[in-house]
Amino acid sequence: MKTDMSNLDDSIGKLLLDLQKDDPDTFKEIMKRAREENPELFEENIDEDNKKIDEYNCEVEEYNKKVDEN
């Protein structure tokens, strides 16, 4: 069962996705302001995402090497 805060996060996420589609200029301004006011929220996620992407890329490279060897 989701908590109230989780439901709020989901609702805000959906609103932002809708705004990004319907009014991209306003979305960019909101995101720019959010980054300026709370840069720590964005930096941490970027590092985690980049780490996951790097790990995935390494797995793909290993798989490709195995395919090439056969």
Distance, CA of 46 to CA of 52 (rounded, Å): 10
pTM, entire model: 0.51
| Contact in structure between 26 and 19 (CB atoms under 8 Å) | yes
> pLDDT (tens digit, 9 = 90+) per residue, 5-57?
788 888 998 999 999 999 999 999 999 999 899 887 777 666 777 788 889 99
> pLDDT (tens digit, 9 = 90+) per residue, 10-22?
899 899 999 999 9
Q: Where are the domains positioned within the chain?
A: 1-37, 39-70
